[in-house]
Each structure stands twice: as structure tokens, then as C-alpha cells.
Amino acid sequence: MALKIKFENKIGPATREAFGKALVELGKENKDVVVCDADLSKSTYTNGFQNAFPERFFECGIAESNMVAIGAGLASSGKIPFVASFSAFILNKGFEQLRVTAAFPNVNLKAVGTHSGISIGEDGPSQMSIEDISLATSLAGFTVLCPADEASMTALVKAAAAHVGPVFIRAGRSKAAILYSASDTFTIGKAVELASGSDVTLIGTGLMVAECVKAAQTLEAEGVSARVLDFHTVKPIDRDAISRAAKETGAIVVVEEHLVDCGLGTRVAQVVTETTPCVMEFIGVDTYAESGTPEGLLEKYGLVASNVVTAAKKVISRKR
Amino acid sequence: MALKIKFENKIGPATREAFGKALVELGKENKDVVVCDADLSKSTYTNGFQNAFPERFFECGIAESNMVAIGAGLASSGKIPFVASFSAFILNKGFEQLRVTAAFPNVNLKAVGTHSGISIGEDGPSQMSIEDISLATSLAGFTVLCPADEASMTALVKAAAAHVGPVFIRAGRSKAAILYSASDTFTIGKAVELASGSDVTLIGTGLMVAECVKAAQTLEAEGVSARVLDFHTVKPIDRDAISRAAKETGAIVVVEEHLVDCGLGTRVAQVVTETTPCVMEFIGVDTYAESGTPEGLLEKYGLVASNVVTAAKKVISRKR
Amino acid sequence: MDCARLLVSMDAPLVTRFTASDDTLKFGIKMFPLTTDIDQLKAVCLRTRRQIIEMITAAKSGHPGGSLSATEIVVTLYHSILRHDPANPKWPDRDRFILSKGHACPVLYAVMADCGYCPVDQLNTLRQMGSIYQGHPDVRFLPALEASTGSLGEGLSLALGMGLAAKLDGSPARAYVVLGDGEVQEGQIWEAAMFGGFHQVDNVCCIVDRNKIQLDGFVKDIMDLSPLVDKWRSFNWHVIEVDGHDIGELQKAFAEAADTKGKPTVLIANTIKGKGVSFMENNPKFHGTAPTKEEAEKALAELV
Amino acid sequence: MDCARLLVSMDAPLVTRFTASDDTLKFGIKMFPLTTDIDQLKAVCLRTRRQIIEMITAAKSGHPGGSLSATEIVVTLYHSILRHDPANPKWPDRDRFILSKGHACPVLYAVMADCGYCPVDQLNTLRQMGSIYQGHPDVRFLPALEASTGSLGEGLSLALGMGLAAKLDGSPARAYVVLGDGEVQEGQIWEAAMFGGFHQVDNVCCIVDRNKIQLDGFVKDIMDLSPLVDKWRSFNWHVIEVDGHDIGELQKAFAEAADTKGKPTVLIANTIKGKGVSFMENNPKFHGTAPTKEEAEKALAELV
Ligand SMILES: Cc1ncc(C[n+]2csc(CCOP(=O)(O)OP(=O)(O)O)c2C)c(N)n1
Ligand SMILES: Cc1ncc(C[n+]2csc(CCOP(=O)(O)OP(=O)(O)O)c2C)c(N)n1
Ligand SMILES: [Mg+2]
Ligand SMILES: [Mg+2]
């Protein structure tokens, strides 16, 4: 493999923090940007926007269903609303509102879920979303983004605002390893190839992208050439990158901090069988996790680089 | 192919009606069976149970979130509650309740969604659920059933009641072609092979199973041998049937009245790439439909036997 | 869209909150002529009711009861209250109308067509594939609609969002939303009610079509709402109880709502489900059952 | 599970609704000894508060404010009101307790451990991987809990379901549920309130921990609830306002709730968030911030 970025395994801000900062910048650039939150503005980092533009911030209290539809009403009147909460609450309590008031009429609403995955840590599974990719991608017409680090989140929040149509952005609680710099550019729907490689492709999204990069480094030391793709966009899915990976590497591992049987992996598998069938392995969780440190949980539930290495070797061994 | 059932394309009752009748029988057999509905008892057919056992029927009004958690409370105290509404409403408005009060603590709740898919007809997309398979399978620990006709629904409602743990049952509004007889038996998690075949496998669920059978008949006339599998259980998925189909027929078509990129098809594709990669085609919808007759809509949105035939030929042509 | 504007002679507008703005120039706004004339409005209601029966009969499915109960409410809004221009349905400063109880869309389609938003002669394609008159309001097919509805409980939140947007823009636009009384059982209504009261979204006016019947039967048997006035008051709304079939009372209540500052207003509009057709009145059967041809003839014979 | 039963000398039970049934034989029920002795209960509250501070300090994260505000409520329930047996947590006729505001679980864990449900000496493993004392109540780890909570808004519905089940079974079991005041903004609470009032689920008693603070700040600034008593009354509940730190008032109110037939009862328990620790009292910061070691020492020095 050949790494296309400078990766030093340095820890940067959480993607939720990057989201909060990007919002403030958006607010400066465009007075139509408005923000709603449901009593979690300190955790979603929308409080930066709230402080900067109090008249464009709407506190909805602990009432996520109403918040989503309030946002759709604002969007229907020409605003660009970002409605935010924990991913588990905005999607699970706002799904019908996202469907009927945003997806179905194609309204320009931006929904943001922070505290995705199990890496939120001590608060435990009631606050973790391990089904948000599934729910968000079940909204026809939605664009679903899951950036891996600060720079990609910043760029993609702006891209989401510029995109006309409903968007869901998935953000994490934990600090995220730095992959990109502020000068990197991102296109919605186009995966980023972080490392070229020919033996296997490692597809990650969110925090798992860095684990894929680390795994690729380990694999290289063992003589295995791994391609690494950052699927910052889960929907629309980059069919082209998938079919090329299948054709050129013949083996794919998908890694996500999500239920393994209804997330990015299943969508990639669908494209693989529709285009170029190849062997695949999937890394994710299959049950609700528990309290613990983020690092401890990722380790226990098999979401770290060493698990990716093992899966890569396994999938390669399955190639005919 | 060799058809293993007598299929005369005769129309029987809707699966929702079969569900309603089975509930009454369950009520007679087991006094712990209780039912909740959200102002749709005439449409979900829970009104049969209501009339037979009024003291065990709880009308919740138009408040699906509360209904689901009321059901979980009943289950926690030893009852076997069936909570029913349209699939779109019970899952989309009750998802967080299903997650936290049923899936997460593994509570013995049975949730039933009727009016699945686009074949509900004239009421249009706000009442159609084309994302219910995705949402229900995103609940860890849930068993997800989607029977194709009266006899299989009747048997599987009973199996659901006997199964200890949370279950979601998907039912349709339209009358369903008869595939089985009352003496047929069904096992949760085990697909039924309705026709043996070697050139291609047609996997269907719900109303689409009959379309697969019809397609297999057409294909046979053209010299193509198609296996037909009824995936009445979407979760846990029958990995064995999938990997055998992939190995023995080398080509699979999945047909579902559901968003094509987040339903049964994606789950089958995952198992295929994990076990025996092969070419696949997928039939489903990719957008919200509209009002119309059930037949007209199925035709327009490409969910009839002729579409299955076309896909089967295509997928066979893609075999190497 | 081929939208022949109906020309009906009308009095001067009742409410003249509207002041010329850039928008009127940009959008070439020619306000729909409003009227206070009750006889004239009664005539509109009569033809609306006839249209509802005809549409639903032609469709062979649909919801007559809740369409008929809301007729005076919707007609009064479009003909006496809303600042709107059917030729410019996206004029930013227009007042908004949302039928949250979307299953009652026949009344909305009939009134919008009558106002010139959309063709009268296609009304009888209701619920057919490709029709702009979908089974529930769908903006993809009829963009002049303010919202796609049909999943109960969402319209009040939408109206509040529109109200907030109007305030941000300094627009005189107001948002009106009709809820069913069964719909009021949805928790989201109370989340929205709390939000509206707390944020003082006084450019929103909610109308509860209190027809006392929902899908499975009478509201009092399914999930009673009483005391409904107390509920809304305790959520800090200005509450006006009206006879929802009395156009004069409705006009006065809407005027009072517009004059009420610091609080949103809710009209509890007491109505009769199926109003105007003897055998449909107060009859749960006609919540969601289309009349047969014979029943339709009987109904039309009464609606004269 | 290694559950050492704490032996505390206690008075006779306050409420003796309990009558011997087959269950007592089958389950070998030895009712937890209840007491009305306020001094004794105050002592339990004090050690509970100390335990809360210690647990959260050890965990370095958690929610002290809402745990401290609910201390008298939870202690009074477990020691004066609930018919329960820590040795038989699944006894069908037991009274149920649900902490719907699951983030306040430290108070519940401390009280349950003190009653003998679970080990006191593991309380300081709160929020650690594998601990039975999860960050939010999780029945998978601590089966003696009645419900897994943490997603706000769900506990009242659960309690109502349990109340219905008890009625079907002819059981004397009652269900108690504690909500946060911020939590009451969830629409599901009002769906449940409407259900409880309509179906007269009078074996359910709801307690709103009215500590006037939620996550982002004061309830009155985030989404005011006033007039809260009127709201519940208009949803047909029997409402009792109490000082949520006055054990005698709480005991009386719970007795009144048990005596109230045909209506469920809600206690609006006026409390102080962070109660008992001067620098945490009424301080939004300590909704979800663990005390530092120094702060913990200061707090424990006050809790004597
Ligand atoms: C969320 C949701 N739940 C259930 C339904 C099914 N449904 C359609 S109409 C109706 C009854 C509505 O009664 P009401 O609000 O009183 O309307 P009206 O009497 O004015 O027709 C129901 C339950 C729905 N459309 N949306
Ligand atoms: C559905 C849901 N939304 C948001 C949260 C995040 N959250 C945790 S605690 C809290 C504030 C709760 O305030 P309140 O109910 O007043 O509790 P208390 O003051 O008693 O701690 C919030 C918003 C949650 N747990 N669940
Ligand atoms: Mg009604
Ligand atoms: Mg509080």
C-alpha cells in the first residue's frame, strides 16, 4: 500500500466539536442558517452557534420529534436549519418526522446526530446509536454523511449546507485521529482513497477510518498491500469506488461502529454483488454495548486496528 | 425447477386479516395474551380480539410511542402483548421505545405492523411503509417475520407468541395469493424452498413470494430452472439457505416491497459475500410511491413477476 | 399546471394586514379577493361539500366525515382570512395553511381548486395513479400545498417552524393549521403546544376540528380529550371555543387570533363529523368509507 | 449475585395492603421491613447522599444533581412505601419502581444496595466496563431493576403497562415512576398521561422531580413547564404538590395516592437540584459533571 496522507496517529478534536465550529462559520456566511437543539447544546456543540447568533437558535427542550418538524417548517420557509441531538434520539424519536416532513417532500433540512457508536463511553448503550446509519439511509432522498475527523467534518458540514435537499450528518463524541488537513477537499458521494493497494480493500467510516489506516500500516509490514477507502458519504453510496475495489483487490473488509447487519457493510455488499462479486468480511457490533472507557469498549467489542488486520487476512485467504 | 407446492394463483385473505384471526385463537389458548392498538383496530384486524376479549384489549388512541412502551410494561409483568398499528407508524414513531423498552432489555413484546409496502394502494405513501424491514432489523435481538400468505401468517403468529423475546411481524393490506395450506409448518429462521432449481435463486418475502413463484413458472417455460425461497423470517436470516443458493445456483435475485437499498436484499448480499460470492440483482423501490390501485402500483413500480423474470435473466447472463 | 382562475365576485378583504413590499412587485402579487359576506361563503361551502361527495364517490375510497366537518373552517380561511394569491403560490409573504389531518384533503383540494390553484375538472381523479389529487396531500404532485401530510401529529410543528421563519424575516405571514381531535392524542402535538406557548409564536393559529369522532369510534370512547380547553390553556395558548360551522364566529375568532400578541391561539371548533349529509352526520362509519353511488345521490340531493 | 442483605432495625410497615397469597409461599417472601420513622429515614438519606458523591467521584463522570434531588423520594419509597423483598426481586406481587430519569441511577443503586438487592462494596465500580452499576440502569447487568432507562420519556408508559398487568392479575401491586422535570417536555409523557387518566390506571403513582434544572440550564429558560399542576389536572390526574425533601409530606402523599381510586396520582415534588451539597445546589453545572476529588471531600464534609 501507499499512504496518500501524512498519518501520525495524532488525536484531534471530536467530530461533534468540528461540527459546532463549522456551524458558527456557516452562520457568519449565511443568515438563513438556523439551528435547533433539544437540551443537548453543550454536548452537540451547537452552543457555539447559540452564543454567536442567539436569535437564530431555537431551543426545543427534550422533544426531538417536534424539533425535527419545526426544522422542516423553517426549511419550507426558506431557512437552512440544522437540527441536532444525540444520534439515538434525533433519529429514533424523529424518524417519522424526518420521513414525512423532510424526505418525502424533499425539504432542505439538515439533521445532525452526535454521540454515534459505542465510543461515547461511560454513559452506556441507552445513549449510543448503533443503528443510525441504518435509519438515516432508510430515508429516501437523504444524503448521509459520516466524516472521520475534524477537517473532513468541517468541509462536509459546509457541503451539506450548500447541498439542496435533506442531509443527515453522523458525528462522534470521542476525540478523532487526524487524517486530513484544512486544505483537503471532499465531494459528497465520492469516497476518499487514503491508501492505494492491491491485495485487499479496507472500507471504513467515521472513527473506523483511522483504524483502517493503522491496519493497513500493520499489513504493509507483513507484506500485504491494502487499499483504504474513507466512506464519509454513506448515501448516495460510491458505487464506482466499490466496484473498482472489488475488481482490483478482490477482497473487501467493511468496518463500522454500528450494528454489523444493517449498516454500511450491507450496502457495500449489495453493490459488490450487483457489480463484481468478491469475498468480504464485516466488522461491527451485534448487540447493545455497555459502559466503559471509549478505548476499552472499542477494544472489547472488536473495533480496533488489530481486528481489521485479522479480518483482512481472513478475507484474503478466502480469495480463490 | 420443480414446484413443491400446489400454486393456482388463487387469492386468499390479506395477511393482516390472518393475523387478526390468529390473535383470537391465541387469546383463547392463553389468557396472558393481550393486545394494544392505536385507533386502527378495524384496519389491523385487532378488533376481532377486542370483541372476543375486551378486558385484555387496550385502546391507546393515536399515540404509537406510548402504545409500544405500554406493551413493554405489560410484557415486563409477564403478559404476552401484541401491539399493532400501521407499520409506518408503529416503527417510525415507536422505534426508540422498541429499542430501549423491548430490544435492549430483551422484553417479550410482539409488535405488528400492517399496511406494509406500496400495495396498500389509494391512501398513498404517507401510510405505506417501505422502510419497515430496515427499521425492524435494526433492533438487536428482535426476530423479524414477514409472512407471505394466510397459512404462513397464522402459523408464524403462533410461533411468535411461543418465542420468548421481542418479535416484529410485517403484514400487508392487500389480499394475498395462497401458497400454503393450514397443515404446512414453519420454523422461525428457516426459509421455505417453494421450488427447487439450479440456474438461479429467487428470494422473496411477503407478497413478493408469489411473484417469485409466478416468475419461476414463466422461466421454466423458457427453459430456466429457478429455485424459489420464501424468506418469511428476515431476522435471524437463514445463512444456510443463502449460502447453498449461492453455491448451487450461482445467481440470486431478491424481491421485496421495500426500499431496495436497505432491506432484505442488502442482508442477503452480506451473507453471500461472507460465504460464497455470486452475482445478484435486487428488486424493490427507491422512492416514495403514490396513490393508485394496489395492482397498478405494483406494476408501475416494477414489483411483479415479469420484473423478476427480467432480473433473473439478467443475473444469469452475468454469471461467469 | 393548467390552473384556470375562478372568477367570483367578492367583497373587500376582511383583514388588511398586508402592506406592499418588494415581494408584491417581484412576485406580481394580486391578492385573492377576500370577503366577509356570509351568504356568499355559505354558497362556497355548499359547492365544496358537493365536490367532496363527488370526488370521494368517484375515487371509491377516502374520508368524507372529516372533510365535511372542516368545510366552514377551510372555506372561511381561504375566502375571508388568508393573504394569498393562487397565481403565485410561492410568494414568501403569503399566509400558510396546513391540513395536518391530511386524510381530509378532499376539502382542501376542492377549496384550492375553487380558488384557482389547480384544475377543478381533475378533482374527480382523486386517489388515482398520477393524479395531482393524491390520497393524502403530497407536495410532489401539487406544489401549491404547504406540506405533505397524512401521518398525524406533525402539522402543528411545521406551522410553528413557518411562524418562526416569518418572524426572523420580519414578514407579516401567519400560519394556520387544522388538526383532528383524534390527532390531538399524539404526543408531538403537546411538544409543539409547549414550544408554541413558550416561544410565544403568536403568528400561528391552530384549529382543532372537534368533531368528536376518530377512526375506531367516538373520541370519548377511544381516548377522551376532555377538558380540552383546559389542556391548551395550561400549555399557555389563547383558547377560543367556536361553533366550527358558524362562519361569522370563525371570522371573529380568526380576527381575535390575529390580534392576540404574545401567545399563539387555538380554536376549538366544535363541529359535526359528516356535516351536511344527514346519514353521515355523527356517524363513525363515514370517517373513512366512500359513499356508494346511491348514497352519493342521496347526499347531493340534500346538499342544495 | 452475592447480595448481602443489610439488617437495619425498622418499624412496622406503614402500608399493609399486602395480603398473603400463593406467591408468598412460592417465592418465600419476607417483606422488606418498612418504617415511618423520619429520623431513621433521614439517616438513610444522608448515607445515600454520601454514597452518591463517592460513586460519581470514583467514576469521574455521572449526574450528581438529579441524584441528590431525588434522594428523599427514592428512600421514602423503598423504606416506607414499596412492598418488596430484596431476596425475591421477581415476586409477581411486588410493587414496581422505575427511575425514568435513568441518568440519576446513582441514587437508585445506592438505595437498592442499602436494601440488600446488590453489593454495596461494588458501588464504586459505577460506569466501569462490566460493572452491574452501568451508566444508566440496565437490566441485563442488574436484573433486580424493573426497567432499562436512559432515553427520557419512556418510564411512565412502562409503569402504566405494569399497572394494567396488575389489574388483569388482580394483584395489589402498584407501580411508581420518577420523572425529571425536563423529561416532562417529551410528548410521550403526555400520551401516557392521557392514557393513564382515561383508563383510570389508579395503581400507578408518578413523581415529577421538580428540581427546575435540566441539562442546558434552568427549565424556565429552556422550555418552561408552568403551570405544571394545571397540565396534569387537565389530563385527569390527581395532583399533589409536595416538598420533595420532606419525608413526612412524601409519606402522606403516597398514602393519599394509594387511597385515590379512579385516577392515577402524580406528585409534583418540589426539590432542589444538588440538594445537600451547598455548591451543587441549584447549580446547572452539576447536572452532569462529577465532582473533583477536592469537591467530593468538601461535599462529604457537608454531608454529616
Ligand atoms: C400517526 C398516524 N397514526 C394513525 C393514522 C391512521 N388514521 C388516519 S385518520 C385517523 C383518525 C383521525 O381522527 P381525527 O384526528 O379526529 O380526524 P377527523 O375526525 O377530523 O377525520 C387515524 C387513526 C395516521 N394517519 N397517522
Ligand atoms: C430522549 C432523550 N433526550 C435527551 C437526553 C439527554 N439528557 C440526559 S439528562 C437530560 C436532562 C434531564 O433533565 P431532567 O429531566 O430535569 O432531569 P434531572 O434534572 O432530574 O436530572 C437530557 C436532555 C436523554 N437522555 N434522552
Ligand atoms: Mg375527529
Ligand atoms: Mg430537572
Give per-residue pLDDT as tens, C174-185.
999 999 999 999
Chains that touch A (3 or more CB pairs under 8 A): B, C, D
Residue B64 a catalytic site member = yes
Rounded alpha-carbon distances, angstroms, from residue D18 to A181, B312, D11, D13, D94: 68, 67, 16, 10, 9
Query: Which of chain D's residues have a Cβ under 8 Å away from the Cβ of C237?
Result: none
Decide if B273 and A274 are in contact by the 8 Å CB cutoff: no
Residues lining ion ligand 3 (Cβ < 5 A) are C 180-182, 211, 213-214
Residues 6+ apart with CB under 8 A from D20: none
Among the partner-chain residues D158, D173, D198, the one whose CB lies closest to the CB of B69 is D158
B65 vs C151, C187, C223: nearest CB: C187
Task: Return the pLDDT at D26.
Answer: 75
Contacts of D226 (CB under 8 A, 6+ apart): D220
Closest of A165, A259, A174 to residue A210, by C-alpha: A174
Mean pLDDT throughout A198-220?
Answer: 98
**Cis previous bond, B294, omega within 30:** no
Interface residue B255 vs chain D (CB under 8 A): no
How remote is the CA of residue D101 from the centroid of ligand 2, in Å? 7
Ligand 2, residues at Cβ distance < 6 Å:
A 39-40, 62, 89; D 63, 65-66, 69, 101, 103-104, 150-153, 180-183, 209, 211, 213-215, 273, 287
pLDDT for the residue D6: 29
Q: Can you tell me the distance from the alpha carbon of B124 to that of B119, in angstroms, rounded to the nearest whole number? A: 9
**B288 CA: distance to closest CA in chain C (Å):** 10
pLDDT-derived band at C16 (thresholds 50, 70, 90) equals: very low
Q: Is B70:C223 a contact under the CB 8 Å cutoff?
A: no
- Alpha carbons A120 and A129: distance in angstroms, whole number: 9
Can you tell me the mean pLDDT for B182-210?
98
pTM above threshold 0.90:
yes
A88 close contact with D: CB closer than 8 A: yes
| Cβ atoms A298, A118 nearer than 8 A | yes
Please tell me which of the candidates D188, D191, D230 has its beta carbon nearest to residue C230: D230
Give catalytic residues of A, as residue numbers. 64
User: Average per-residue pLDDT in chain B?
Assistant: 98
Q: How far apart are CA B142 and CA B89, in angstroms?
A: 18
pLDDT in tens, B4-43: 999 999 999 999 999 999 999 999 999 999 999 999 999 9
D160-188 pLDDT tens trace: 999 999 999 999 999 999 999 999 999 99
SS (H, E, C) A30-99: CCCEEEEECCCHHHHCCHHHHHHCHHHEEECCCCHHHHHHHHHHHHHCCCEEEEEEEHHHHHHHHHHHHH
**Cβ–Cβ gap B93/A96 under 8 Å:** yes
> Chain B partners of D102 at a C-beta cutoff of 8 Å?
none
Q: Cell 410493587 maps to which residue? A: D95
**What's the grid cell of residue C276?**
351536511
DSSP SS3 for B235: strand
Q: Virtual CA dihedral for A190, A193, A199, A200, nearest 10 degrees?
A: -60
CA–CA distance, B80 with B112 (Å, rounded to integer)? 13
Share of chain C above pLDDT 70, in %: 92
Q: Is C215 on the interface with B (CB under 8 A)?
A: yes
Residue of B307, B191, B188 whose CA lies nearest to B256: B307
Q: Do D223 and A63 touch (CB under 8 A)?
A: yes
Q: What is the mean pLDDT of chain C?
A: 93
Task: Please list every residue in chain C whose beta carbon sits closer than 8 Å to the beta carbon of residue A99.
Answer: 151
Total residue count of chain B as it appears in this document: 320
Residue contact D195–B79, C-beta within 8 A = no
For residue B56, give the chain D residue with the closest CA.
D168
The span from the first CA to the last CA of chain C, in angstroms, equals 31
Tell me the pLDDT tens digit for each residue of C119-151: 999 999 999 999 999 999 999 999 999 999 999
Residue the block writes with cell 452475468: B318
For chain A, helix, strand, coil in percent to 5 are 45, 20, 35
Rounded mean pLDDT of chain A? 98
All cell numbers assigned to A289: 454495548
pLDDT tens, residue by residue, A104-160: 999 999 999 999 999 999 999 999 999 999 999 999 999 999 999 999 999 999 999
Residue C97 bridge partners (DSSP): C176
Contact B124 C129 (CB under 8 A): no
Q: Which three cell numbers stand for residue B138?
A: 435494526
Per-residue pLDDT of chain D (304 residues; tens, 9 = 90+): 233 332 233 333 344 334 456 666 677 889 999 999 999 999 999 999 999 999 999 999 999 999 999 999 999 999 999 999 999 999 999 999 999 999 999 999 999 999 999 999 999 999 999 999 999 999 999 999 999 999 999 999 999 999 999 999 999 999 999 999 999 999 999 999 999 999 999 999 999 999 999 999 999 999 999 999 999 999 999 999 999 999 999 999 999 999 999 999 999 999 999 999 999 999 999 999 999 999 999 999 999 9
Would you list the DSSP string of D212-278?
SB-SSSBHHHHH---SHHHHHHHTT-EEEEEETT-HHHHHHHHHHHHH--SS-EEEEEE--TTTTST
| Residues 184-213 (C) with a CB less than 8 A from some CB of D | 185-191, 194-195, 198
Which residues neighbour A51 within 8 Å (Cβ) at sequence distance 6 or greater?
A: none
Q: Which of A170, A117, A123, A116 is nearest to A142 (CA)?
A: A170
Q: Once rounded to an integer, what is the mean pLDDT over residues C73-82?
A: 98
This complex has an ipTM of 0.97
Q: How far is CA A308 from CA A220, A244, A295, B34, in A?
A: 13, 20, 16, 46
Span A212-257, pLDDT tens digits: 999 999 999 999 999 999 999 999 999 999 999 999 999 999 999 9
Q: Which residues of B touch C149 (CB under 8 A)?
A: 126
With a 6 Å cutoff on the Cβ, whether C152 touches ligand 1 is: yes
Catalogue the E-assigned strands of chain A. 2-3, 11-14, 33-37, 57-59, 80-86, 110-114, 143-145, 167-170, 175-177, 192-196, 200-204, 226-230, 233-235, 251-259, 279-285
DSSP B236: S
Task: Name the helix (H) or strand (E) containing C38.
Answer: helix C38-59
Beta pairing, strands A251-259 & B57-59: unpaired
* Integer CA distances (angstroms), B25 to B18, B48, B311, C14, in order: 11, 10, 40, 61
- CB-side exposure of A241: number of CA atoms within 13 Å? 25
Cross-chain CB nearest to D223 (options A59, A124, A125): A59
With 0-12 / 13-18 / 19 or more C-beta atoms within 10 angstroms meaning exposed / middle / buried, residue D122 is middle
Above pLDDT 70, what percent of chain A?
Answer: 100
> Is D216 an 8 Å CB contact of chain A?
yes
Q: Is D119 left (phi over 0), alpha (psi -120 to 50) or beta?
A: beta
Given CB atoms, is A63 within the 8 Å cutoff of chain D? yes
User: Measured in angstroms, how far is the CA atom of residue D100 from the centroid of ligand 4?
Assistant: 12
Per-residue model confidence as pLDDT tens digits over D14-23:
443 344 566 6
D158 in Cβ contact with C156 (< 8 Å): no
The reply to whether ligand 1 has any atom less than 6 angstroms from the CB of B39 is: yes
Mutate to test the interface with A, among B91, B127, B133, B273 (most CBs of A within 10 A): B273
Given the residues B17, B64, B150, B256, the one annotated as active site: B64
Left if phi > 0, otherwise alpha if psi is -120 to 50, otherwise beta: which for B206?
A: left
Which pLDDT score, from 0 to 100, does residue D278 have? 98
C19: pLDDT strictly greater than 60: no
Confidence at residue C27, expressed as pLDDT on a 0 to 100 scale: 80
Q: State the distance from the centre of ligand 1 to the C-alpha of C228, rounded, in angstroms.
A: 18
Q: Tell if the CB–CB gap between B59 and C222 is shorter than 8 Å.
A: yes
Residue to probe by mutation, ligand 1, list C152, C275, C286, most atoms within 8 Å of CB? C152
Which of the ligands is closest to the CA of residue C67? 1
Q: Which residue of B has its CA nearest to C60?
A: B122
- Nearest Cα neighbor of B121 from A67, D139, C211, C127 is C127
Find chain D residues with C-beta within 8 A of B90's C-beta: none
Span D4-46, pLDDT tens digits? 332 233 333 344 334 456 666 677 889 999 999 999 999 999 9
pLDDT at D27: 79
Cell of D39: 429520623
Q: What residues of B are in contact with residue D192 (Cβ under 8 Å)?
A: 66, 69-70
